[in-house]
Chain A
């Protein structure tokens, strides 16, 4: 029954990667911007939550009440003041600006929190598990993360297809020029979109910080996992991103079952293999 446990573990790990990837997918989907600081923003959320827990004595889940509004404001202002100025035909400026941001966040965290590994604690929930049959059990906390990923996607779909700002997101994504002609303030739409993406990043960062240890330099690896999930699923398709995350999680779990050293490598190799056979992912939605 070992292999069932492995597959279950991979599936749940996929939920984590999907949650990492949703913010990246969202920012790309609306404004064709690849945020290289994505992984570092996830780690930043973990550290902000860590600081809130230390200073105010709140639990990690309650800290979301502070982290999420803060991250929305961060994303909104960042897009309005900085990233909007980089959008255009030239791909270099958004790439360099988000790369610069990544370096600033990493080294800023290194200066203020030192290089130590941290972890947030949630008590018993972390280790609780539900028994499925005699020798298989699933962790409650990984299930919570997986459910959060699905709820987040459903919430974003409701936002995209059921609200005025969602309609503006889609219109701007399809054709920014035409959207502007229809009286949509695309700069503000972009700012709201990045704000929403940063809220998702905040959720992912805090949940990650409870699940595993993190340190100031652990962002880039998370960017790569998120990126792989987005590409595997197909650019701009948010359910595809979930599938991409699960594919990556399964690849890593199976690779890890063969040889623990091989876990991360297996994920990268599956990603490269999919790139060979399906260069545009399973469910591409965005034409290049």
Chain B
């Protein structure tokens, strides 16, 4: 009897093809500014930051099980920190992006300590209350424009780049960088040992605690990291808009509702999910925006239907049916016995039968 030889692989054929397609797409997007199509560039910027926000919420809710409805707290806070740093501390707008993110991470620590007292759905609405408190607080800061908000000082706008075209290019590249960084960061985290622990928490928090996962510390870490990243995205959003106000910065519908539906429709607990959700969201919005708020109604109905009939989301349906996986976070054991390669995978993606 010889020992059966085996290899452990993470890449699959679908992941190689999928990553190649995404890489090519990214190269295409990097070449887009050459065409000078500024309207498309602006749309891509929006898609990029929505994707990054969706990746962050997916990590928070889909893996760490923290169903926050109040992530707009950190989007608005990050945006306001950028304006404060630029207008009152003389920072350059681009360098302010990561600092705004850092400050959002800091403020999220007391928020987490308070909110982790609430469980499940109460945590969800509790975070929403925190976002309301943030909004009302910025109403009371005259230095940041109070209730009517403020514009980015002209000097700071010129600081980004002297020409409008140069500014749009810098924002465009920054948005792409943030989107790519969000995907890479989540992917790398999930492939690390923390990813294994997070996946365990997602499947059963109690069971993972019993095998030695420090669920509180891990969840706190994810909450703070996600808040920091979300704050940086928020800073970029309002840097592009060049204007901020409490109502726009802390808008639950625009930021939290849309992001949550994107993730759920695409497939929560999978990195591919937000991509699919983003595609559906922008397709719906761009084709029906002439009819007012109908795309939001459709989005809401679609999210309800997904929860009732296909909880793994649209990407989950595709992936389960055709066994494809663009971002494999699990390991696969291939037995090289009798030249017959039999793949058996220890599934770390959510199984649909479970529900």
Do the two chains bind? yes
Interface size range on B against A: 35 or more
CB distance from A264 to the nearest CB of B (A): 6
Question: Closest residue to B116 on the A side, CB-wise?
Answer: A279
A80 to chain B, nearest CB (A): 13
Check A228 against B260 for contact (C-beta < 8 Å).
Answer: no
Which chain A residue lies CB-closest to B301? A104
Is the Cβ of A224 less than 8 Å from the Cβ of B132? yes
List the A residue with the shortest CB-CB distance to B65.
A91
Pair B292/A110 contact, Cβ less than 8 Å: yes
Residues on the B chain within 8 Å of A131, using CB: none
* Cβ of B305 to closest chain A Cβ, rounded Å: 9
A208 interface hit (Cβ, 8 Å): no
| With known contacts A103-B257, A103-B300, A110-B292, A231–B122 Cβ distance under 8 A | yes
Segment of A46-54, A68-76, A270-278 engaged in the interface with chain B: A270-278
Question: Within B59-111, which residues are at the interface with A (CB < 8 Å)?
Answer: 61, 67, 69
Interface size class of A (residues with CB under 8 A): 35 or more
In whole angstroms, what is the CA distance A276 to B116 when docked?
11
CA gap between A268 and B126 in the complex, in Å = 10
A82 cross-chain contacts in B, Cβ below 8 A:
304, 308
The answer to whether A34 touches B67, judged by C-beta atoms less than 8 angstroms apart, is no
Contact indicator A228/B129 (Cβ below 8 Å):
yes
| Cβ–Cβ contact A261 & B304, under 8 A | no
In the complex, the chain B residue whose C-beta lies closest to that of A217 is B253
Chain A residues whose CB sits within 8 angstroms of the CB of B176 once the complex forms? none
Q: Tell whether B117 is near chain A: CB-to-CB under 8 Å.
A: yes
Q: B284 → chain A, closest Cβ, in Å? A: 13
> At the interface, yes or no: A164 with Cβ under 8 Å from chain B?
no
- Cα–Cα distance between A228 and B308 once the two chains are bound (Å): 29
Chain A residues with Cβ below 8 Å from B124 are 34, 36, 95
Which residues between 76 and 129 of chain A lie within 8 Å of chain B, taking CB atoms?
82, 85-86, 90-97, 99-104, 106-108, 110-111
Complex Cα–Cα for A231 and B122 (A): 9
Residues from chain B with a CB closer than 8 A to the CB of A95 are: 67, 121, 124
Q: A36-B125, A99-B257 are in contact. Are A91 and B67 (CB under 8 A)?
A: yes
CB–CB B307/A227 < 8 A: no
A94 to B120, CA, bound (A): 11
Q: How far is the CB of B118 from chain A (nearest CB, A)?
A: 7
- CB-CB under 8 A from B264, the residues of chain A are 92, 96
Instruction: Please determine whether A269 and B301 come into contact, CB atoms closer than 8 angstroms.
Output: no
**Residue contact A97 to B308, C-beta cutoff 8 Å:** yes
The CA-CA distance from A108 to B293 in the complex, in Å, is 8
Tell me if B32 counts as interface (CB < 8 A to partner A).
no
| Complex contact B308–A85 (CB within 8 A) | yes
Bound-complex Cα distance A36 to B130 (A): 16
A111 touches B303 (CB 8 A): no
Closest CB in chain A relative to B64 CB, distance in Å: 13
Task: Identify A264's interface contact among B125, B136, B303, CB under 8 A.
Answer: B136
CB-based contact B128/A96 at 8 Å: no
- Starting from the known contacts A92-B268, A100-B300, 17 additional A-B residue pairs (CB-CB under 8 Å) come to A34-B124, A86-B308, A90-B355, A93-B311, A96-B261, A99-B257, A99-B260, A100-B307, A104-B301, A106-B253, A108-B297, A228-B129, A261-B140, A265-B136, A269-B133, A272-B130, A288-B119
Q: Please report B residues at the A interface, Cβ cutoff 8 Å.
A: 61, 67, 69, 114, 117-122, 124-126, 128-130, 132-133, 136-137, 139-140, 252-253, 257, 260-261, 264, 268, 292-294, 296-297, 299-301, 303-304, 306-308, 311, 355
Instruction: List 26 A-B residue pairs with CB atoms under 8 Å apart, sorted by A's residue number.
Output: A33-B121, A36-B124, A82-B308, A90-B355, A92-B268, A94-B121, A95-B121, A96-B264, A96-B304, A97-B304, A97-B308, A99-B69, A99-B260, A103-B253, A107-B300, A111-B297, A221-B132, A224-B129, A227-B122, A264-B136, A265-B133, A265-B136, A265-B137, A268-B132, A269-B133, A272-B133
